[in-house]
Structure 1
Amino acid sequence: MVSKSDYNLLQSIVDVVGFIVIALGIIAQSIVRACLPKSYRKFKNLNGQNVLITGGGGGLGRLLALRMANQGAKIIVWDVNQEGIEETLKQVKAQGGTIHGLKCDLSKNEDVYRVAKLTKEEFGDIDILINNAGVLSGKFLLDTPDRLIQLTFDVNILAHFWTVKAFLPAMISRNKGHIITIASMAGHVGVSKLVDYCASKYAAVGFDESLRMELEDQGVTGVKTTAVCPYFIQSTGMFGNVHSRFLSTLKLSDVADRIVEAIQREEEQVMIPSVLRLTILLKLVMPWPVVSMFMRGLVPDAAPEEPTNKLNNNMVKPTSKEAVNVKND
């Protein structure tokens, strides 16, 4: 007669063997898909899709709007900068695209919910949500006013909660949708002068992974999530003067093209450039002094200019009083 403990052991062995077999099959399938020529890969059709892009008043958000509108998507951009919105609308319409813009302060959840309600009433359900808006302070932690730290988290991560809570229910009910989190390689590796920024991007990476896990746990198969983690990008106004050795900063157009491809292929996580995946692996296996030496050598100064805070192309500078009284905020 088989005892209960023997049965549990046997069941555990079966579970482990089953997991290994299934995992190997998934790995093999992923390798085959990665090696297929683009002409044989499955790409999602963006024509007619309602795409919402936060921070669409400039930089990467504007370029994504142009790229996706060119493929027939109907674009809605949110931004706190009305002039930026108007310029994005002008450029997209000039190439024959369909686009609408709404002013939204992503640092305030009540404004996010208000504009989300208006968006759904005027334009219908959102098919693709791109949480792109971001803030950068670029100061040593003890020199960063509390209000700028709060703003960094409000925009870089908390806003993701509010937009997803606003649009995810309809996606689940239709079992159709895609949520893209524009995070950063700073969401995997810490960098000096970017303590608040890195912490918010670590949170963004965790948000995406946890949300994906939760959807799978609930059996929601039609709603996809993608985390995008680029290296420093040129021409966004955030990292234009970053000192980077050995690895060039990224061209905005290249990043936009790669993000659109990732959306079409429904990739779970994208690192730009892909070689940086090795950095994450090395971080896990190397002693901390090696990791620190490598990162400080790669990025001697992430914010060489006098500290500012960027939110959707608007520069918000701490007052002299705040700069003096940082430790007492």
Structure 2
Amino acid sequence: YIIFEFIVLQFQIFYYILESIFRLFVPVEPESVKGEIVLITGTGHGIGQQLAYQYAAAGAKVVCWDINEKNNQATAEEIVKRGYARPHCYVCDVSNRQEVLKVGEEVKKEVGNVNILINNAGIMPTHPLEQHTEEEIRRIMDINVLAHFWTLEAFLPAMKQANRGHIVCLSSIAGVVGIPNLVPYSASKFAVRGLMETLAEELRWNPTNQIKTTTVCPFMVDTGLCKRPFVKFEQALNLLSPEHVAQKIAQAQRTGKTEITIPEILLPVGILTRLLPEKAQIKVKEFFNSGVNSDLE
């Protein structure tokens, strides 16, 4: 019986390899998000702001969350200026569980149940571990990791009840490979990947599950968070624009991808590099020689 299962597994692996090759030439058509309620955290600037523009343009009902009311309203005004429906804006500190749950209830009553949740908000101090304060480390974990748990607590139950929805979380290339001057940040982004991988497995326990997950790991993005980057191959791995990253995130969500890096080639490179001996891995990292300098210098 086990031998039979093993043979079936080989055929399944072979089939899905062929399917992946086929999809390189015939990509999945993006699903429509028209009329879907899309909640995005951190919409006051950067990637979150650009995501709000992307989904508003696609006809979604956009819900903007940010701790900065002024910036959040500026995002809303720009959306209206572009000729799209005004988003629903809320001030929310996503690191505060009670506030997330309270504002989440307001969203349900005033807009409806969230269909697509995009956990984008994050902070990124960049300096050596011993120069991070306790308060700073806790703040990184509260915003970059724990906030995901609170938004899931607020919106996942309704998704499960309806058996539909999509959860998108922003990790980072620093959640794929450790980067100096980013120890707490990198730890938080590895945690997000672990959270999402395990959540996806837990959702799969329901054989009829229709709730999807997408984890996104961008390279360094020009949002102002990454203050002193250095890149060896600037033509291939320059700082990404928030608009480009938002386009890739929306595309990944709408085509049902489970995990991507931006650029996409970095994920298989990271996986293959970890198959090498430890000293060879170090040489690969030295070859690419990209990262961030301390923001305290």
Would you say same fold, with TM above 0.5? yes
Aligned length: 293
Residue 63 of structure 1 is matched in structure 2 by 50
**For 1:289-308, what aligned pairs fall within 5 Å after superposition?**
289-296=279-286, 298-299=288-289, 301-306=291-296
Percent of residue pairs bearing the same amino acid type: 33
Cα deviations by residue, 1:147-172 (Å, 9 ceiling, x for unpaired): 11011111111111110121111111
| 1:285 corresponding residue in structure 2 | 275
Structure 1 match to 2:24 = 34
Is 2:196 aligned against 1:204? no
Superposition deviation, residue 303 in structure 1: 3.4
Partner of 2:154: 166
Please point out which of 141, 144, 150 is paired with 2:129.
Answer: 141
* 1:244-259 alignment, distance < 5 Å: 244-246=231-233, 247-259=237-249
Aligned partner letter, 1:183: S
Q: Secondary structure at the match of 1:97?
A: coil
- Report how far residue 131 of structure 1 moved: 0.2
> For structure 2, which runs of at least 5 residues remain unmatched after alignment?
none
* Matches of 2:269 and 2:182, distance apart in 1: 18
Which one is further off, 17-26 or 156-165?
Answer: 17-26
Q: Deviations over 1:89-121 (max 9, x none)?
A: 111111122301111111111111111111111
Write the mapping of 1:218-233 to structure 2, written as runs, cut at 5 A: 218-233=206-221
Change (3 A) 1:77 1:299: farther
Q: Corresponding residue for 1:122?
A: 110
Task: Answer with 1 or 2: which has the greater Rg.
Answer: 1
Whole-Å separation in 2 of the counterparts to 1:238 and 1:297: 25
Partner of 2:264: 274
Tell me how far 1:297 sits from its aligned partner: 5.1
Distance 1:300 1:16, change over 3 A: closer
Q: Tell me the residue number matched to 1:179.
A: 167
Match of 1:107 in 2: 95
Root mean square deviation, CA, Å: 1.6
Is the 8 Å Cα contact of residues 174 and 186 (structure 2) preserved in structure 1?
yes
Give distance in 1, aligned partners of 2:269 and 2:23: 23
**TM-score normalised according to structure 2 size:** 0.94
The letter for the 2-side match of 1:229 is: C
1:288 Cα deviation from its structure 2 partner: 2.4
| Aligned partners of 2:274 and 2:281 also within 8 Å | no
| TM-score normalised over the length of structure 1 | 0.85
- Give, as a single letter, the amino acid of the residue that structure 2 aligns with 1:214: E
Runs of 4+ that moved beyond 3 A: 296-301
Do the aligned partners of residues 112 and 89 (structure 1) sit closer, same or farther apart at CA in structure 2, a change above 3 Å counting? same
Q: Does 1:262 align with 2:262?
A: no
- Preserved contact between residue 172 and residue 220 of structure 1 (Cα < 8 Å): no
Task: Indicate whether 1:150 and 2:145 are aligned.
Answer: no
Q: Name the amino acid aligned to 1:82.
A: E
Contact kept in structure 2, 1:191 and 1:295, CA below 8 Å: no
Partners of 1:263 and 1:282 in 2: CA distance: 25
Does 158-167 or 289-298 show the bigger shift? 289-298
1:247-279 C-alpha deviation (Å, 9 max, x unpaired): 222122211111111111011111111221243
Query: How far is the alpha carbon of 1:285 from its aligned partner?
Result: 2.0
Q: Which runs of 5+ in 1 are unaligned?
A: 1-10, 308-329
Separation in 2 of the partners of 1:296 and 1:82? Answer: 42
2:35 is matched with which residue: 44, 48, 72?
48
Amino acid at match of 1:97: Y
